[in-house]
Amino acid sequence: MAAIQALGNRLKPKVVAFVNSFYVWLRRQPEYLEHFSDPARQARASKLQEQYWVDFLTCNLDDAYLARRRKVGEVHARIGLGLPVYFAAMHFSLEWFIDVGRADSVPEDHANSIRSITNSIRSITKLMHLDTAVVVETYSRMVNEKIADQNRAMMEMSTPITSIWQGILLLPLVGIIDSRRAHDLMTSMLTKIAETRSKFFILDISGVAVVDTAVANHLIKITKATHLMGCECIISGISPAIATTVVELGVDVGEIKTTATLRDALEEAFWRTGVELQTLHSSGQ
């Protein structure tokens, strides 16, 4: 810290010149047109960068300093400015400060000058590594949170539980069922059953890509869980291929209610709930 602060006393007046040279370099990068081509936006970013490097050279490493670095990571993640250009920018900055620090040094004697320059370079490098670590950690956390939110949104879209009649719920499944999705399915189903107090839940698997032992076991767990909630689960969409696979795998489906088609499952649920279906014929047909 002392080494950077001593160097900072000489370099702070040159921060504006550094930021100007930085944007000359940045104009050659593909990210410039997307994020900094607007003059007003570049002016704001330039002021923020000047504050950043004055803060860096002041080197008061407290919680507030780290919070300001986390803010940088949050901004980069929010505007979609990738880490590769950030790494390149930090490398450019490190080289600039080292070159200017060397040129601006006032040697008392040759040996002391070499030690002073070496110590300053080492100190600047350490602090830049600290800054980079904080920014990258914050950036990665925000990106991961965004991906998790998107996955949750996609999961909700892929599990459209619908109340098709009083006491009857329907969930058509499409795609692949893994352990994570099976857990989310069970949670969504049980929550919906508790909210609607439904007595029948139709789980249509005609759109499931693969039915293996793991998928079959997931389905068994789901049906048992719904049964504990006082709701009977009917699995529809059992094709000949799926039936053959389940038999060959030796999966014990127990007392699980299954039907070949969604229509059969609907008729079963309506019949069990006392709903009478009638076919209407128009005149002349």
Q: Do 107 and 238 sit in the same domain of this protein?
A: no
pLDDT, position 19: 92
pLDDT, position 257: 86
Q: Considering the domain boundaries, does residue 279 fall inside one?
A: no
pLDDT, position 58: 92
> In which domain, by residue range, is 208 found?
162-272
260, two tokens: 């070949």
Q: Using an 8 Å Cβ cutoff, are 169 and 200 in contact?
A: yes
pLDDT, position 10: 83
Regions of the chain where pLDDT drops below 70? 104-114, 150-159, 251-252, 277-285
- As for how many domains the chain has, the answer is 2
Q: Do 120 and 56 sit in the same domain of this protein?
A: yes
Q: Nearest-CA neighbor of 251 among 222, 203, 211?
A: 211
CATH of the domain at 84: 1.10.490.10
CATH of the domain at 254: 3.30.750.24
The neighbouring-strand residues paired with 201 are: 169, 233
